[in-house]
Amino acid sequence: MSQAAAALTVAGACVTLGGRPVLREVNFSLTAGEFCGLIGSNGSGKTTLLRAILGFVPLDQGRIELGGQGTLPGGIGYVPQKIELDPGLPLRARDVVALGLDGARLGPALPSRSRAERVEQMLAAVGASEFADRRVGLLSGGQQQRVLVAHALVRRPRLLLLDEPLANLDVRSTAEIVALLRRLSRQSGTAVLLSAHDMNPLLGAMDRVVYLASGAAVAGKADEVVRTEVLSSLYGYHVDVVRVHGRVVVVAAEAREESHAAVERDPVHTAPVP
């Protein structure tokens, strides 16, 4: 794995927010084109980890390196958690993608054919061509997610971060977005780090998983990490990894005071039959 181009290295990353440790010694790395799920319950530190990678949150200890050394060409693509796109805002889907290309530039936007073509290609790549001219705030959740992915990828970043992009999507849109991200990461060599509280939609797609619980992480291939003994050791108490109808459910052995959404006491909730 050291031969492949590293897109992201997180080594011994510790973050404290408001006196509370949020990330404890997180270690993992991603190589180009890898698709990695960042799995954990609400409050496990997923968003903080993504924000630390973006440089929004300072590390107390450890380091985060992009592209092995220094910054990446094209930077980091980012799809934030549940952004509400204002339906009153006069912005078409294609304008949002264009803002991904040069929204940080100063000066007025001059029409450019190469720019328009790049936007058009990106819209096609995420399957957003048919609603490219519609107001983005009026699109469905799944359509908006495609547009935001196009916004994040249009500068061809080496690393794409997505914070809970599957939350609030219906089953079909979820599967489509996962398949889309998987395909784009393979094609372009972009490493994808996607956070989710439910790993099931990602099971067939993930090359790697980073599993977070109370700020501590284990990383590896999904079938190495999502195991009873590994996750029990991570949580610090016994949990069972149960496979039902091709889905994985992590169940706490006994009722616990602290709430861990990823650890379901009632497996029925995480294994709805689609």
HSE-CB at 267 with a 13 A cutoff on CA atoms is 15
* Helix/strand/coil for 67: coil
Among 85, 175, 180, 261, the residue binding another protein under the rule CB under 8 A is: 85
76 lies in the binding site for another protein (CB under 8 A): yes
Compose the 206-245 pattern: x for residues touching another protein by CB under 8 A, - for all others.
Answer: ----------------------------------------
Nearer to another protein, 96 or 123 (CB): 96
Nearer to another protein, 87 or 272 (CB): 87
Q: Which one among 4, 5, 83, 171 touches another protein, defined by CB under 8 A?
A: 83
Maximum pairwise Cα distance, the chain: 62
- Distance, in Å, from the CA atom of 272 to the CA atom of 274, rounded to the nearest integer, reads 6
Which helix (H) or strand (E) segment is 235 a member of?
Answer: helix 228-235
133 makes contact with another protein (CB under 8 A): yes
CA distance 272 to 173: 16
Which of 19, 70, 107, 246 is the binder for another protein (CB under 8 A)? 107
Compute the distance between CA of residue 42 and CA of residue 193 in angstroms, rounded to an integer: 17
Our finding on whether 55 is near another protein (CB under 8 A) is yes
Show the DSSP H helices in 79-220 as ranges.
93-102, 113-125, 141-153, 171-188
91 lies in the site for another protein, by CB under 8 A: yes
What are phi and psi for residue 105, nearest 5 degrees? Answer: -75, 150
Q: Is 116 in the site for another protein (CB under 8 A)?
A: no
Please tell me whether residue 194 adopts helix, strand or coil conformation: strand
Site string for another protein, 134-163 (x = CB under 8 A): xx-xx------------x------------
Stretch that binds another protein, among 78-86, 189-197, 219-227, 234-242 (CB under 8 A): 78-86
> Is beta strand 6-17 parallel, antiparallel or unpaired with respect to 61-66?
antiparallel
Residues paired with 191 in a beta bridge: 159
State the DSSP code for 87. T
Binding mask 174-193 toward another protein (x if CB under 8 A, else -) reads --------------------
Q: Which residues bind another protein (CB under 8 A)?
A: 54-56, 76, 78, 80, 83, 85-92, 95-96, 99-100, 102-109, 133-135, 137-138, 151
